[in-house]
Structure 1
Amino acid sequence: MERPSLSPRATTSSLPSTSSSSNRNPLNLKVSRLLSANLQDAATRAALDTLGQFESDVPDVPATSSTTATAPAKDGIGRALRRGGLRKEVDKRMAQGSRQFLDAFTDVNEKLANLQSHLDAMHVCCNEVQEQLDQANTGTRYLLEHAQGLRAQRASTTTQQTLLHLFLTRFTLSDAELRALTSRDVPVGKELFEAMDKTERIREDCRSLLSGEAGEGTQAGLDIMLYTSQHLDAGYQKIFKWCSFESRGFSKDALEVSGTMREAMRRLKGRKDLLDDILTLLGTTRSTSLLNTFLDALTRGGPTGLPRPIELHAHDPIRYIGDMLAWIHQTMAGEREWLESLFGVKEDGRWVGSVRRWPAKDAKGEGDSVKETGEEDEERLRRLLDRDMEGCGRPLKIRVLQTVKSQEGPIMSYRIATLIHFYRITMERTIGEEAGMSKVLAEITDSAYEAFFETLKAQGRSLLRFIQPPSAALTAPTPLREALSTLRELMAVYTSSLLLDDSLSASPSPSQTTIDFAPVLSAALDPALEMCEKMREMRPSEWDQAVFGVNCWEACLGALEGFGFTAERCKGLEEGEGRDVETLTGEHFTHLLKDSGLEPILTALHTKDASTPLSHLPVASPSVLQSSITAFSTFLSTTDPLSSPRLSLLPPRFAASIHRAALDRVSRAYAEVWEAVMDEANRYEARRTVLKRSREEVEVLLGLGD
């Protein structure tokens, strides 16, 4: 409905004109208060909206015949609202709402009463159930206690079962592991090795059981040790049979060591009896194979004809023997490399070509006193290598000795001997001195040196067989020069044979005693020197003997020149040469002294009595002295200060040195005579005029001055 207009103008026009009555009229006051009210308040606006709903609840009904009966009611409400029946309407509606709330709560109350009755019934039932539960608990307490005991037993049994399972897993072998150890169907390989490793671990753990107090643990340890010992032996026997079969297959040239074979050999080290049998079989197989291969290399050559057979070069002794020794050395190096791979031996800290240090031998010399694993492997490898090369020793020895004995010349014999000696030293450094091949090479070396020295002795005997006097030129004889030529070639062979290598000299091998060239030098040179000495004695003149000796000494020293290892022998030759040079110097001085005319005076001076003046001697009288000085002056003017015809048969450097030394002695002799003449005790008158030349002038004339 529309609210009535309450404008102040309408209200004021309807009020009485009297102002005082207007102020006291309640309606006026309410209207004034209503007009002055703030209609923007939310509560006021809500109240007005509610009042508006009372009129809107009664819809306007059109005046029709069907609505005639309801129209008076609606009009009544509207009029009631318009006439101020608002309070009644509100009270009526509030009463109606209260009745609705009352009806709703009545329904709720009835339902709560029903619920309470149900709860009481349920409480009674719960009490009955609790009583029944208490009775059941009392009746089943024994069963619960028994069940708890059973649970504890089950936990204990489970723990024991777990421990037993762990024990069996640790101390027993599975079916697969037993099959790997005993069955032939399982090949030797990783599965077998793992089973053996587990067996070894079981035995190691059993030692802990056996180390405790006697009891069930000790008996269990003994049983397990017996059980595992049988299966471990079966595993070793299986490996032994497999290795025996594989060892027979190592008869070919191209050898390859599989990881399985290497591991099998490593494990057999714990069973030395089985390992020794395997090594014996392996050594026999490899020795036969290498022997056949060596014979093929000698007679047939390579598979395709290259390299050619070694015996095709039998006409060349050096190449023939060198090829055989080189084949042996190369094969031995390859064989050692293969054995190192087989045994898993690694050499650390050893350079190629350096001396190999072998394990120390015991008092019996068998070398079994080594205790360290590495040394045992090295000793085992050395013995097996020696066994493998044993078959090649005999054919090598036969062929080399045949070649050595067929040589007649010392140079070729010595070249062969040094070649064999070099390989002997190399072999000793590779496989040791006690190895069979080293002993074969040592025997061959000794035989080669014996053959060589025999040729030298034959050459020496030939030198001493036919001795003739020296030639008129007193030069070194032709046989001596031939012997020296041979000696020089021998020294050249020795120098090029690598026997002077410092590393070889530092080796402790006993064969190093024959590396010294002194025995060769003596055997080659001593017969020649003896021949020269006998030829020298055939000359009656000491001068000729000395000249011949110097020429021979000089030829020998010239042949030895340039070789450091002959220094000691050269020193002895130089001493002998020095003695002959001194003899020649004395002889030449005597000859020059006679030519100078000073010999009688000098002889008188040396032989006279100390109390007798020199001038009183007949040979030294002033007249004789004057004639001697004249002769000396002639000597000075005719003598060549650089050379003498008497020394022409000597080498130029010796002729010059001897002539100068003799002239020096002549000068000193003149000085001695000059001092004697000038001495007043000898009573020479006008002594200043007797000797016309001073000592210094004589030295200059003889070519001795600076």
Structure 2
Amino acid sequence: MSASQPRPALSARRSSAVSYSSPGLTPSPGGTRSSHLSPLHIKVQRLLSANFEDAGTRAALDTLGQLERGEADEGAEAGSKQVGQQPQVQQRGIGTALKRGGLRKEVDGKMAEGSREFLQAFSEVNDKLSMLQSHLDAMHVCCDEVQTELDKANQGTRYLLEHAEGLRQQRATTTVQQSLVHVFLSRFTLTDAELRALNSREVPVGPELFAAMDKTDRIRADCRALLSGEAGEGTQAGLDIMEYTSQHLEAGFSKIHKWLTFEARGFAKDVLEVSATVREAVSRLKARPDLLSEVLSVLGTTRSTSILNLFLDALTRGGPNGLPRPIELHAHDPIRYIGDMLAWLHQAMAGEREFLESLFGTKEDEKGARRVGEVHALSRHRRIKTGVEGAELLRTDRDRVKKLLDKDFEGCGRPLKIRVQQTIKSQESPIMAYRIATLIHFYKVTMERTIGEDALMSTVLGEIMDHAYELFFETLKAQGRSLLRFIQPPAAALTAPLQLREILSTLREIMTVYATSLLEHEASVPSPKSREADFTDVLDAALDPALDMCTRMAEMRPVEWDRHVFWVNCDEAVLSALEGFEFVGQRRVTVERDEETHVESLTAEHHSHLLKESGLEPAVSALRTKEAGTALSSLAPASPSALLAAQATLTTFLSSLDPLTSPRLALLPPHLATAVHAEALARLSAAYGELADAVLDPANGYEGAESLLRRRKEEVEMLLVVR
């Protein structure tokens, strides 16, 4: 029982002790405790005053209480069975027995019984321990035997372990080598699908074939690295792989070649479209120039035949449903007829060049696009390879385009040449001949810039152009010969002859054609000097016979004055015709100098005439021709009397003089007549000034010099309106 539970045995014992105490132990009432207490009384008091909170004491009391209850219960049960007494009577008997000393005995018995039970249990434990010890001894013996066996087994399996470790290392090495072999094979061999794409006709030319060829090229590039190493297995492997891939790569090129040859025969249509597959196939075949040349030869033949048929249809049948109309319907108009033929070829060549540039992948972007005939700029093109190699590839492709263009249009050369030459031969007008020649010249330059100077079409146009220019110059020469055949004296008005004006009108129209025949926005427009040099032959052929005619006509006039006036009028007509054209500047300078010479002659002669009419000519002549040191007054033409007569004549002359014009200059152009008259008057005023200064000079011996000169030189200058 725990310490917290009630203790009935202890309570009963306390009450029993109080109830059965002796009367003599009870203190007397009303008096002090007796000092002579009995031992029992003292023991009872000590028990009553004892502290039962101690754990050991409480445990002992609990044990004692349990023992008392157990004994009491057993005794009561036994007594009731024997004599049928009441349990209460038996309990009192047991308690009495415990009080009389049976408790110690009972406790000793219990202790003895507990000791026996302990000994018995310990004996069982001892037996078990003995058995365990025997088992442990047996196990020790067994462990020794097992250890011995293990030592023997370890000694026997050491070789196997070492061999197994070696096998594991070999397995790891083999695994690495297997991975390397797998990587090597995947990098340096072709799959079945790739082999089929390269060799089988069932796989069409397309991305699958191109991918297989790319891988083959990469394998061959990697093999070059193997071949560049030291001699050994790597070199032999590289040689084997190169031989292996070479066969399949050639099969791929042969497949592309056959397919492109078939496709080239199909490019016989008017509208051509190049697919990405065809463009890529052509790009691949550039690595085999011999195969590509065969394909381009077939393509050139096909396109040449097709373009010739289209050209003939345009000449005779026209376009679809008759629109546009056939070119030959305009054969009566030479410029339109020839221009339509050349324009058709120009347009067809532009479309053909675009087709070929798309075929070779050299077509420029929109920002860098150029027109037909514009000089190529080798740059900016999108290529896989760059630098010098890329530029060389681009140049090669453009050369191929030019050669194909030449071949495509070689069939059109003969029908074009025949028709143009027939048209040129029927022309008699030099203007029309020159317009045709310049038109052909323009298209010739365009063709040369597009397909080169050595191309057949450029050669044909060059021959046609030369023929046109020959006919033009022959027409000019015939015209010049007709001018010199019938020469007549100049008209009474001394104007430029009608033949010269006709020639100059024709020349001006020719110059207008030449000025508008070149494109001003072209980057290669020639400079004014080069243009003038190009036109010199035409100018000389047209103008020289006319000027020669004017020279012969002027020689038919006996009077020199008339010859100069005639020449000035002819020069003015020529200058008027050449005005406004920069490329005849040098010839204008030559004509202007010639005119200045004749104007100077007219001015000098007109001055002499005015000097004579003014009466000053004898005195001025004497002044300018006298010897040094001779007095002017001593000369008869300049004597005082002669001077007085000259002064009278001068007064009459000044009163009737028109300072703006002269009837003698009426046959000259107005601006030149005014200039000649003004210059002659200025020279007359200067001559009078010289004479006046000489008269006033004392060295000339004039007496009353001031009275001899009625007019001062300033007055004469004002009257002559000298500016």
* Structure 1 range deviating more: 389-398 or 47-56: 47-56
Query: How do 1:91-490 residues align onto structure 2 when only pairs under 5 Å count?
Result: 109-133=126-150, 164-211=181-228, 218-345=235-362, 352=370, 354-356=374-376, 372-490=392-510
User: Displacement, 1:544?
Assistant: 1.6
Residues 472-508 of structure 1 show CA distances to partners (whole Å, capped at 9, x for unaligned) of: 222222222222222222222222222555622369x
CA shift in 2, pair 1:485/1:118, >3 Å? same
Contact persistence 1:180–1:191 (CA under 8 A): yes
* Structure 1 range deviating more: 561-570 or 438-447: 438-447
CA shift in 2, pair 1:423/1:115, >3 Å? farther
Match of 2:671 in 1: 653
What is the alpha-carbon distance in structure 1 between the residues aligned to residue 308 and residue 233 of structure 2? 61
CA shift in 2, pair 1:55/1:516, >3 Å? farther
Contact persistence 2:187–2:219 (CA under 8 A): yes
User: Displacement, 1:222?
Assistant: 4.2
User: Displacement, 1:111?
Assistant: 4.6
The answer as to 2:539 corresponding to 1:521 is yes
SS in 2 for 1:329: helix
Letter in 2 for 1:655: A
Contact persistence 1:15–1:22 (CA under 8 A): no
CA RMSD, Structure 1 to Structure 2 (Å): 4.3
CA shift in 2, pair 1:329/1:159, >3 Å? same
User: Displacement, 1:559?
Assistant: 1.8
* Structure 1 range deviating more: 418-427 or 224-233: 224-233
Letter in 2 for 1:188: V
CA shift in 2, pair 1:630/1:607, >3 Å? same
CA shift in 2, pair 1:679/1:230, >3 Å? same
SS in 2 for 1:290: helix
What is the alpha-carbon distance in structure 2 between the residues aligned to residue 400 and residue 15 of structure 1? 179
User: Displacement, 1:167?
Assistant: 4.8
What is the alpha-carbon distance in structure 2 between the residues aligned to residue 94 and residue 298 of structure 1? 150
Query: How do 1:689-700 residues align onto structure 2 when only pairs under 5 Å count?
Result: 689-700=707-718
User: Displacement, 1:84?
Assistant: 12
What is the alpha-carbon distance in structure 1 between the residues aligned to residue 492 and residue 279 of structure 2? 81
Match of 1:560 in 2: 578
Contact persistence 1:418–1:499 (CA under 8 A): no
Contact persistence 2:265–2:299 (CA under 8 A): yes
State the aligned residue count. 685
Residues 102-130 of structure 1 show CA distances to partners (whole Å, capped at 9, x for unaligned) of: 66665555555444444444444444455
Match of 1:530 in 2: 548
What is the alpha-carbon distance in structure 1 between the residues aligned to residue 321 and residue 103 of structure 2? 141
Residues 152-185 of structure 1 show CA distances to partners (whole Å, capped at 9, x for unaligned) of: 6666666665555555544444433333332222
CA shift in 2, pair 1:136/1:689, >3 Å? closer
Residues 182-230 of structure 1 show CA distances to partners (whole Å, capped at 9, x for unaligned) of: 2222222333333333444444444455555666555555444444333
Match of 1:640 in 2: 658
What is the alpha-carbon distance in structure 2 between the residues aligned to residue 81 and residue 416 of structure 1? 168
* Structure 1 range deviating more: 225-234 or 245-254: 225-234
TM-score of the superposed pair, with normalisation by structure 2? 0.81
What is the alpha-carbon distance in structure 2 between the residues aligned to residue 616 and residue 378 of structure 1? 95
CA shift in 2, pair 1:540/1:98, >3 Å? farther
Query: How do 1:494-505 residues align onto structure 2 when only pairs under 5 Å count?
Result: 494-499=514-519, 503-505=523-525
User: Displacement, 1:633?
Assistant: 0.6
Contact persistence 2:80–2:87 (CA under 8 A): no
User: Displacement, 1:97?
Assistant: 7.2
Identity level (%):
64
CA shift in 2, pair 1:522/1:91, >3 Å? farther
What is the alpha-carbon distance in structure 2 between the residues aligned to residue 438 and residue 86 of structure 1? 155
Q: Which has the larger radius of gyration?
A: 2
Contact persistence 1:390–1:437 (CA under 8 A): yes
What is the alpha-carbon distance in structure 2 between the residues aligned to residue 392 and residue 74 of structure 1? 157
User: Displacement, 1:138?
Assistant: 5.8
Contact persistence 1:463–1:527 (CA under 8 A): yes
* Structure 1 range deviating more: 471-480 or 303-312: 303-312
TM-score of the superposed pair, with normalisation by structure 1? 0.83
Letter in 1 for 2:393: T
* Structure 1 range deviating more: 214-223 or 465-474: 214-223
5+ residue gaps, structure 1: 360-368
Query: How do 1:479-628 residues align onto structure 2 when only pairs under 5 Å count?
Result: 479-499=499-519, 503-505=523-525, 516-610=534-628, 612-628=630-646
Letter in 2 for 1:18: T
What is the alpha-carbon distance in structure 2 between the residues aligned to residue 43 and residue 328 of structure 1? 137
* Structure 1 range deviating more: 303-312 or 655-664: 303-312
Letter in 1 for 2:666: S
SS in 2 for 1:517: helix
Contact persistence 1:550–1:577 (CA under 8 A): yes
